[in-house]
Amino acid sequence: MFVESKIVPHLKTSGWIEVVCGCMFSGKTEELIRRITRAKIARQQIAIFKPAMENRYHSKHVVSHNANAIYSTPVATASEIYPLAQEADVVGIDEAQFFDEALVDVVVKLAQEGRRVIIAGLDMDYRGLPFGVMPQLMAVAEYVTKTQAICVNCGNPASFSHRLNPSSEQVVLGETDLYEALCRKCFNEV
């Protein structure tokens, strides 16, 4: 008699953390969506989360600047992610820089339980300083991918998000109306 067993990847293999970081317009969310889509093709159970405050394109979808989208669950705090991710083999988190410090413990616990955790977020704020929990997430990750945009001034690889308005608040949601990608030289000249 043949008995088919269901392979549950997170019970048989070790988990890990992947961080995709970079400046605005560098393709972070696009890469998150690509990796999640591949997990779906592999018939893995996925769960995707984003900060509830991030509703520029859609309240319940992670959306890239290229208009690619994937359904997500908006959450107000990082601690909400863990109980909602229990059935997932792969957990995606977008705009991680907006979450509180508890996100580090949440993703470490998910990975220790055998899940693949894919995180996307800005590594630096508009001043060129480390943003939120991103440095801690990069430190605990097995894989870190730094994406780059194209400098709108000179065409070189860009790693900085330059804000076009005078606000001094760290978090100001916006798109090309408020931000542009710049290389180090052009960023330091503004």
Residues catalogued as catalytic: 95
Whether 90 and 16 have beta carbons less than 8 Å apart is answered as no
Sequential DSSP letters for the chain: --------HHHHS--EEEEEEESTTSSHHHHHHHHHHHHHHTT--EEEEEETT--SS-SSEEE-TT--EEE-EEESSGGGHHHHTTT-SEEEE-SGGGS-THHHHHHHHHHHTT-EEEEEEESB-TTSSB-TTHHHHHHH-SEEEEE-EE-TTT-SEE-EEEESS----S----STTTEEEE-HHHHHH-
Please say whether the beta carbons of 32 and 120 come within 8 A: yes
Q: Which residue type occupies 12? A: K
Residue type, 185: K
Picking from 57, 86, 59, the residue whose alpha carbon sits closest to that of residue 73 is 59
